[in-house]
Structure 1
Amino acid sequence: MLWEQVRKAYPDKWVVIEAIAAHSESNFRIVDDIAVIDSFDDSMDAFRRHHELHKQKPNRELYFFHTSREDLDIREKRWTGLRKI
């Protein structure tokens, strides 16, 4: 599913989505295919669902956005420093 299709199917909603296919371009994540996991009226409900799913499977590429956004502007964050091994 494309973001335009998500916006039409879930107007004025907060959606938790998973990037099924995505690539990086100029420090932005470009999502080519989206699966909608859940939709909400409240941003905190969407945040909690996103957090819960991310905790269960941290390797999934999950996001939450409001469908009023025309574009998904997902800036990639570069992590520097040490991580727990």
Structure 2
Amino acid sequence: MSDKNQTNNNSVISLTVGILSLLIPFIGLILGIIGIVFSKKALKQINITNESGKGLATVGLICSIVGIILQILIVLGLIAFLSISTFITH
């Protein structure tokens, strides 16, 4: 009874870090990688211990992946903007 009612701590961490990877610029890339690691770890533990939190881990994984993609696009956009602005000024 107590095993099923407990939520896996790693799934909560993966969701929190995944959401932060969407919101914090530049550091979000590192947070996204950490979120993926915690969500994979949480899913393994949930399958073994039968705890709840599988949905949280899945959403954390999705947020982390989207956060990484968003951060990469921001960095590429910044590089493109800076290269165009230096090209125009010269």
Coarse TM-score class (shorter-chain normalised): under 0.3
Structure having the higher strand fraction is 1
* TM-score of the superposed pair, with normalisation by structure 2: 0.27
